[in-house]
Amino acid sequence: MPFKIRMGLPEMEAFWADLTNRRQRGKLDKEEEKFFKKLLKTLGYLAENPRHNSLASHEIHDLTRKYGFKVFQSYLENNTPAAGRLFWAYGPDKLDITILGIEPHPEDQKRGAYQRIKLSALPVVTYKKPAE
């Protein structure tokens, strides 16, 4: 069963709303259109299988410690300078994946690179336990 993709609050939700609205109106420039297509492809892979080979998804322990829940990183693109990375987490509901940030790849060799990344918050849980 595929995952539902959600956007983190408030930054990612605002970013996604702006990007999709401008695309619907034909207001994205060439680079933004290229980025949008890469993002849609990545989100499709993520919804279908977060462990898809081309995503190279893995937990980022520095961010997990910083935010108090498991944060994962997946490739938005690869083999390009400052290749984009998608940061995400499972939740808040079962079968949800929330996109928390999109950043250029942090320089792993530099100490504290992941500590400088600011992520959006997870949306509020909407799952309700069935009445017994």
Tokens 């279908």 locate to: 48
Domain over 4-106 is classified CATH 3.30.70.20: no
Burial of 35 (0-12, 13-18, 19+ CB in 10 A): middle
Give the residue extent of every domain in the chain. Answer: 4-106
**What was the pLDDT predicted at 70?**
97
Q: Give the tens place of pLDDT for each residue, 77-132.
A: 877 656 789 999 999 999 999 999 998 766 654 566 777 788 999 887 665 656 65
Give the span between the Cα atoms of 111 and 90, in whole angstroms. Answer: 27
Peptide bond into 10 cis (omega under 30): yes
